[in-house]
C-alpha cells in the first residue's frame, strides 16, 4: 500500500526541490548532515545552526505536503517528529522544541525542528525562530565543530533504535 494519496493535486510535484537534492546526496553518501533514516523519512542537521541542534525531517519518498499522505503515513510522521523532539529534550537539556512545517519555498514535505533554550534572549524566545534569528548569518553546520558533532552524534545514537 502506498503512503501517498492518489489524487493528482495531492501528488503533483514542483521539482526537483532542495529536498530532492538533499535526498539524492544522502543516497550517494555525500551529505555530512545526514543523521539517521526513520520510518517516515530522513533526519538531517540544518545547513546553518541558528540555534544549536536545529534539524529537519525530510519526507522520503518525497510528497508535496502533509495532506498528500494517507492516515497511517501521517501518524508515522507525527510519531517520528515526537521521537526526535524527545531525543533533543533528553540529550541536550533544552526547554522545548518548535516544529515548523511550511513548504512554501520548497513544496516538498519537510519539518524544521527547532530547539528552544533556557538561555535565549527572552525577546527572541517569544518569536518564531525564523523571525528571531538570521539563518543566513548563522554558523554553518560543521562536523569539525565540537558542539555540532556532539549534538549530531548524541541524536544519531539515540534515534538509531527507531531507524528502519
125-161 per-position pLDDT tens digit: 999 999 999 999 999 999 999 999 999 999 999 999 7
Residue 3 in domain: no
What is the span of the domain harbouring residue 65? 8-162
Residue 107 and residue 40 in contact, taking contact as beta carbons nearer than 8 Å:
no
Mapped to the 3 state alphabet, what secondary structure does 20-74 carry? HHHHHHHHCCCCCCEEEECCCEEEEECCECCCCCCEEEEECCCCCCHHHECHHHH
Q: What percent of the chain stands above pLDDT 90?
A: 82
Whether pLDDT at 107 is above 70: yes
Give the pLDDT band (50/70/90) at residue 164.
Answer: low
State residue 65's pLDDT score: 94
> What CATH number did the domain enclosing 85 receive?
3.30.428.10
Whether pLDDT at 8 is above 50: no
Residue 141 in domain: yes
Residue 154 in domain: yes
What number of residues does the chain have? 164
Helix (H) or strand (E) holding 96: strand 96-100
Residue 88 in domain: yes
Residue 2 in domain: no
Domain count, the chain: 1
**Weakest mean pLDDT among 8-17, 27-36, 151-160:** 8-17
Give the pLDDT band (50/70/90) at residue 58.
Answer: very high
Residue 37 in domain: yes
Residue 29 in domain: yes
Taking only Cα atoms into account, the Rg of the chain, rounded to an integer number of angstroms, comes to 16
> For 137, which DSSP code?
G
- Quote the pTM value: 0.91
Q: pLDDT tens-digit profile of 73-106?
A: 999 999 999 999 999 999 988 999 999 998 888 8
Whether pLDDT at 7 is above 60: no
Amino acid at each position: 500500500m502506498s503512503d501517498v494519496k492518489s489524487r493528482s493535486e495531492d501528488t503533483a510535484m514542483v521539482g526537483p526541490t532542495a529536498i530532492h537534492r538533499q535526498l539524492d546526496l544522502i543516497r550517494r553518501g555525500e551529505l555530512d548532515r545526514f543523521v539517521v533514516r526513520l520510518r517516515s523519512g530522513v533526519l538531517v542537521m540544518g545547513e546553518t545552526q541558528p540555534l544549536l541542534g536545529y534539524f529537519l525531517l525530510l519526507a522520503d519518498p518525497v510528497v508535496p505536503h502533509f495532506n498528500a499522505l494517507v492516515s497511517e503515513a501521517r501518524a508515522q510522521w507525527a510519531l517520528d517528529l515526537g521521537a526526535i523532539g524527545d531525543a533533543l529534550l533528553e540529550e541536550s537539556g533544552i526547554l522545548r522544541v518548535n516544529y515548523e512545517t511550511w513548504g512554501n519555498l520548497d513544496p516538498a514535505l519537510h519539518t524544521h525542528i527547532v530547539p528552544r533554550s533556557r538561555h535565549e534572549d527572552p525577546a527572541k524566545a517569544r518569536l518564531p525562530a525564523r523571525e528571531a534569528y538570521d539563518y543566513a548569518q548563522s554558523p554553518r553546520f560543521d562536523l569539525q565543530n565540537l558542539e555540532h558533532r556532539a549534538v549530531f552524534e548524541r541524536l544519531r545514537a539515540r534515534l538509531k533504535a527507531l531507524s528502519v
